[in-house]
Amino acid sequence: MKSVKNTLQRRVGGISANKLVMPIVLALSVLHVMIVVVIILINTSSSQLSTLMQNAGNYTQEATSLLAGSSLLSETASNYVLAPLTEIGEPNLTPLMGYANELKTDAHRGPNIVENFKTYDVDPAAFAQLEEASNCAQFMITNQIHALSLVRSVYPWPEIQPLPQIPMVELTEEELAMDDEARMAAARTLVLGTVYGLNKQGVSQNVNGCVAIIQQQSAQQSAVTGRRVAIYRSIMWTVTLSVIVILIGTFATLYTQILIPLEGFVQLIPENRFLNETQGFGEVRMVAGAYNDVLKRRDALDAILRSAAETDALTNLPNRYRFEQYLLEAEESGYSAAVLLFDVNYLKRTNDTLGHLAGDRLIRSAANCISSCFGENCFRFGGDEFAAIVRDCSPESLGQMMARFEEAERRENISVSMGYAYAEEIGTTNYKKLLDEADKNMYAQKQLMHGRE
């Protein structure tokens, strides 16, 4: 505290009122300690809020991976059952290879995710829905393997990896007695029938229900923490104002070098303006300096919190929350606009073969290409998805941007699927329609790319 006092004295100068040294020092000490305590509490609560948001995102991502893995297994198994042979009559190994690779990815399997969720602080209702989704997914896998076993009895597989890693079931005597056509029909019923469809729907509904509960729980906990931060800030301002009021009441009859500056402080503080540090005795100037430091720290903390809430940590681009805020604040007419959506290709392959650090580098490279070509309004939705909004542009200028982006892709040796939608006058449509159109175009490009592969 002595060091702070000396620093303030050197900075603000002024004549010292010796008879008022102890009362003013005591007041400043109390003010400083209480403000520091409140700031520590605000920092702690802010860290808790950040952890809550991060955990909710991780839980959501892990829950949805069950749905993604289940959908991929279902799609590859169904594709093989419907087309076990290629056009030239050879075994159709592509869906089998995909099925085998996904089946051995334990992180996507329901039982593993359910075990992980037992250690998480999630609502029991969310856990129950996730467990039900896991049961439905396991039922689907059982049917898929049974169906593949039936098809294999009709169309044997070549003995190559990773096909032997797909577990088979022993067919019943009744199934062995069937002819080939009946076995194929039974296999299709297993992966395309009503019961299978209901379980597939159950996986989607229960995972979505689990995610909704997790997000609701996170929102409630975040609201509680946010209210706590607001209370701490109110306490900080209440203490500051109370101390200043006490000082004003205590020294109301003293020299004008104390009274006049304090009256100015009372006018400036409610307006969140900096106090004048060049008037009054040295002790009065110290009060002004201490308050200005607190105001600066508060503004810096607000800026940090706002930046953390609106910025993606990996790419430093604005995140999905900032994107939605941008759309809410955007004017409804009077300019042309283009919405572009991006999806980084081969991210999973990069993570699986080169590691997640390489995947992070791939995401950062894509972000740099997008932001350098399409301006400041570029956003990362999360994962491998990005968006950009270009205002007051023509089709020609937009085409030049996309050409630069394709050149940047080649230069950085990356692949990004892109779709866009353009409106000459935003008043004739809205951003939601542009987003939907851009999303369809992006996925059409992605499907075309996969078709070429």
The per-residue pLDDT for range 399-432, each reduced to its tens digit, is: 999 999 999 999 999 999 999 999 998 888 888 9
- Region 63-71: what's the mean pLDDT? 86
Q: What is the pLDDT of residue 255?
A: 56
User: Which of 113, 120, 144 lies closest to 206, judged by CA?
Assistant: 113
For residue 280, which of 300, 254, 318 has the smallest C-alpha distance? 254
**How many other CB atoms sit within 10 Å of the CB of residue 402?**
16
pLDDT over 90, % of the chain: 25
For residue 284, the surrounding DSSP H or E stretch is helix 282-310
Q: Which amino acid is at 288?
A: A
- DSSP 3-state of 88: coil
- At a CB cut-off of 8 Å and minimum separation 6, what does 81 contact? 147, 148, 151, 184, 187, 188, 190, 191, 192
Task: Kindly list the structural domains of the chain, giving each domain's residue range(s) and its CATH number in brackets, ordered by start.
Answer: 51-221 (no CATH), 320-452 (3.30.70.270)
pLDDT of the residue at 163: 58
pLDDT surpasses 60 at 164 = no
Element (H, E) at 378: strand 378-382
Helix axes 194-250, 124-154, angle to 10 degrees: 150
pLDDT band of residue 265 (cuts 50, 70, 90) is low
- Which residues are CB-contacts of 451 (< 8 A; sequence separation ≥ 6)? none
* pLDDT surpassing 60 at residue 4: no
